[in-house]
Amino acid sequence: MSDPAASGELPWLLPPPYDASAASLTAHAHAIGEAMAGRGRLWLGPFAPPAQLPPGYEGTAVVVPTSGSTGAAKAVALTREALLASQEATAQLFAADGTASSTGGHGFWLPLLPPTHIAGVQVIARAHRTAQV
């Protein structure tokens, strides 16, 4: 059987628009967990996801919008590996300086930004990684 992730066949996960409610946060947290587990691709863009990924983007796990601070707003594709590398780099820094040495640097995170921004996505992804969801 072929690997759906490698062939680009993973479903798009489309949580409802974020409205700061507990139900909305729960829906986004579930979708982020599914994407981090490799069972789907999280789409947070302001427009519909593509029917097919362009060549070279088969490893996409999450698509987040940008604010367009350097031009027009864009959708940015991130791989699971990129998200995990960011988490690991932060954990190494926090473990080294003693900020969160008891948790191997991963610490405990509180989502202050919405899960429609990369910082909010990463807080929830870190919580899934450390079983804090």
Instruction: Give how many domains the chain has, as a whole number.
Output: 1
b/e map 87-107, b = 16+ CB within 10 Å: beebbeebbeeeebeeeebbb
Of residues 82 and 127, the one with the higher pLDDT is 82
Considering only residues 38 and 109, tell me which one the structure prediction assigns the higher pLDDT: 38
pLDDT digits (tens, 9 = 90+) for 15-65: 999 999 999 999 999 999 999 999 999 999 778 899 999 999 999 999 998
96: containing domain: 4-129
The first and second tokens of residue 27, run together, are 């829906």
Give the position of tokens 């929830």. 124
